[in-house]
């Protein structure tokens, strides 16, 4: 199959919507990362999404809608807190896990009786949902396990020949996937995957915001994941990623003692002047780091890095999302110095 590269012109977005209506798959820009869009209600289309990504069948797909009011058509029940959160965060990078109805096939929800619902703010994604008139399942458009794509080029590299088209909408604004939450009781939520809607932001509207243990810790054998995606090795480039927590001085000393051919460090912009070894930088603020992290992990592979020492990000605000992606890319290998 030839994969066509589409622009964000009206004509091309209509083509993208036609593909979706026909049960084909299209790489679509969103404000978080690029997604592999398919009609969430079409079992065959969804099956081919799992196949293109090489994604385990029990890892559910998030369903994207043009407006939160459409969620009633795909769920059994929407708690009042979900409406309140939707008022503040939809459209935007928040996914709410809700009890699904029969219009969402089991294959889409990975066999669960719930469905993750999100209303994306990116105008291209929004327009394609509207033009197709379908709920769009859109997992990150990477090969399963590899860093998520934040540009059309990344999607082309992972998916060329496997999907019908990719729409180029420039680089993803946020750079990490949506915050996934489950609602617990009348006023609490549990964060299953951190993103750019932060714990601090949710806390203004909820009595309690629980951070699921799987976000920062490896699941123990036999433990059930609240978010199935958390079970799998994820976000990993070919290079061996090692997260190092500590001050810059000790980081420099550590890398010096463990340096070698094909060893890189991923450091903050502000460290660069003082850093004597081979490096790439990934911003200073947590938002900059989120925006750059997946792109840098891919660039490290392109550069031939075999081992990468990463300066650990902060864990508050958006930093928790960056830390979560890195600790998983590192297979939970963290060195504290
Ligand atoms: P991705 O499609 O790559 O953005 O990953 C989607 C993430 O959302 C995975 O970690 C899934 O496990 C999680 N997710 C999607 N739907 C559900 C659901 N119904 N219940 C729990 N987690 C979900
Ligand atoms: Mg993903």
Is the pLDDT reported for residue 27 higher than 80? yes
pLDDT-derived band at 231 (thresholds 50, 70, 90) equals confident
My answer on whether 63 and 197 are in the same domain is: yes
Say whether both 188 and 291 belong to one domain: no
Per the domain annotation, does 222 fall within a domain?
no
pTM given for the model: 0.97
Under the banding of pLDDT at 50, 70 and 90, the label for residue 157 is very high
Same-domain pairing of 67 and 158: yes
Residues in the chain: 337
Contact status, residue 298 vs residue 141, Cβ threshold 8 Å: no
What confidence score (pLDDT) does residue 184 get? 97
225 assigned to some structural domain = no
* Confidence band for 235, pLDDT divided at 50, 70 and 90: confident
Number of domains in the chain: 2
**Residue 293 is part of a domain; what is its CATH number?**
3.40.50.11030
63/184 same-domain check: yes
Q: What's the 167 CA to ligand 1 centre distance in angstroms?
A: 23
Determine the pLDDT at residue 219. 85
> 320 lies in a domain?
yes
Take atom 23 of ligand 1 and give the residue whose Cα is closest.
227
Per-residue model confidence (pLDDT) at position 138: 98
Residue 310 CB less than 6 A away from ligand 1: no
Residue with CA nearest ligand 1 atom 17: 116
Is the pLDDT at 122 greater than 80? The verdict is yes
Beta strands 334-336 and 179-184 are: unpaired
Residue 235 lies in a domain: no
Residue to probe by mutation, ligand 1, list 38, 116, 324, most atoms within 8 Å of CB:
116
Q: Residue 134: is its pLDDT beyond 80?
A: yes
Domain, as residue range, for 284: 240-336
Residues 104, 200 share a domain: yes
* Cα–ligand 2 centroid distance for 85 (angstroms): 23
Neighbouring residues of 135: CB distance < 8 A, sequence distance ≥ 6:
39, 40, 41, 63, 64, 65, 70, 74, 103, 104, 129
193 and 77 within one domain? yes
Give Cα 7 to chain centroid, integer Å: 23
Enter the DSSP assignment of 268: -
Q: Is 320 left (phi over 0), alpha (psi -120 to 50) or beta?
A: alpha
Residue with CA nearest ligand 1 atom 10: 229
Q: What is the mean pLDDT of residues 185-211?
A: 98
pLDDT exceeds 80 at position 94? yes
Is 14 within the bounds of a domain? yes
Pocket perturbation via mutation, ligand 1, pick of 228, 321, 328 by most ligand atoms within 8 A of CB: 228
Residues 84 and 189 in one domain: yes
Task: Report the pLDDT value the prediction gives residue 232, as an integer from 0 to 100.
Answer: 75
- pLDDT at residue 4 greater than cutoff 90: yes
Considering the domain architecture, whether residues 211 and 259 belong to the same structural domain is answered as no
Does residue 210 lie in a domain region? yes
Helix (H) or strand (E) holding 103: none
Peptide bond into 91 cis (omega under 30): yes
- Of 166, 181, 215, which residue constitutes the final position of a domain? 215
Q: Looking at residue 230, what is its pLDDT?
A: 80
Average pLDDT of the segment spanning 16-30: 98
* Residues 178 and 313 reside in one and the same domain: no
pLDDT over 70 for what percent of the chain? Answer: 100
Phi/psi of residue 209, each to 5°?
A: -125, 110
Q: Verify whether ligand 1 is closer than 6 Å to residue 109 (CB atom).
A: yes
Q: Which of 151, 181, 215 is the last residue of a domain?
A: 215
Assess whether pLDDT exceeds 90 at residue 221: no
Beta carbons within 10 angstroms of residue 261's beta carbon: 8
Tell me whether residue 207 is in a domain: yes
Quickly state the pLDDT bin for 169 (edges 50, 70, 90): very high
Angle, CA 42 vertex, CA 41 and CA 47 arms, to 5°: 120
Strand-pairing partners, residue 307, are 240, 263
Q: CA 263 to CA 220: how far, in whole Å?
A: 31
Residue 79 and residue 149 in one domain: yes
Question: Ligand 1: which of 82, 195, 227, 234 to mutate, most ligand atoms within 8 Å of CB?
Answer: 227
- CATH number of the domain enclosing 182: 3.90.870.10
Is the same domain home to 91 and 156? Answer: yes
Residue 12 lies in a domain: yes
Task: Provide mean pLDDT across the span 307-327.
Answer: 97
Asked whether the beta carbons of 262 and 305 are under 8 A apart, the reply is yes
Residues 188 and 273 grouped into a single domain: no
**Is the predicted pLDDT of residue 147 greater than 90, yes or no?**
yes
Work out the average pLDDT over 243-253: 97
The pLDDT mean for the chain works out to 97
Q: How far apart are the CA of 35 and the centre of ligand 1, in A?
A: 13
Residue 50 clears pLDDT 80, i.e. is over it: yes
User: Can you say how many angstroms the Cα of residue 258 is from the centroid of all Cα atoms in its chain?
Assistant: 31
For residue 222, the model assigns a pLDDT of 79
């Amino acid at each position: 199959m030839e994969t066509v590269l589409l622009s964000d012109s009206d004509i091309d977005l209509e083509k993208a919507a036609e593909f979706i209506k026909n049960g084909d798959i299209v790489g679509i820009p969103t404000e978080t990362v690029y997604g592999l869009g398919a009609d969430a209600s079409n079992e065959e289309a969804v099956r081919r999404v799992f196949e293109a990504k090489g994604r385990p069948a029990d890892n559910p797909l998030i369903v994207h809608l043009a407006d939160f009011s459409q969620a009633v058509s795909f769920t059994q029940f929407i708690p009042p807190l979900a409406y309140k959160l939707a008022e503040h965060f939809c459209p935007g990078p928040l996914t709410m896990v809700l009890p699904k109805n029969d219009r969402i096939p089991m294959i889409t929800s990975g066999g669960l009786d719930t469905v993750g619902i999100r209303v994306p703010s990116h105008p291209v994604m929004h327009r394609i949902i509207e033009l197709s008139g379908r709920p769009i399942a859109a997992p990150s458009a990477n090969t399963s396990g590899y860093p998520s794509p934040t540009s059309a080029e990344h999607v082309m590299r992972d998916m060329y020949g496997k999907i019908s088209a990719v729409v180029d909408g420039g680089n993803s604004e946020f750079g990490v996937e949506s915050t996934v939450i489950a609602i617990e009781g009348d006023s609490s939520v549990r964060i299953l995957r951190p993103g750019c809607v932060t714990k601090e932001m949710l806390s203004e509207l909820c009595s309690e915001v629980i951070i699921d243990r799987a976000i920062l810790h490896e699941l123990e054998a036999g433990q059930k994941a609240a978010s199935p995606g958390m079970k799998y090795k994820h976000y990993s480039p070919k290079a061996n990623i090692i997260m190092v927590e500590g001050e810059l001085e000790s980081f420099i000393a550590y890398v010096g003692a463990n340096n070698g051919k094909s060893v890189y460090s991923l450091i903050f912009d502000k460290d660069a002047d003082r850093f004597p070894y081979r490096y790439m930088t990934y911003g200073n603020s947590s938002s900059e780091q989120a925006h750059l992290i997946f792109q840098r992990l891919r660039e490290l592979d392109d550069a031939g890095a075999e081992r990468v020492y990463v300066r650990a990000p902060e864990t508050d605000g958006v930093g928790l999302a960056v830390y979560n992606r890195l600790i998983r890319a590192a297979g939970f290998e963290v060195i504290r110095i």
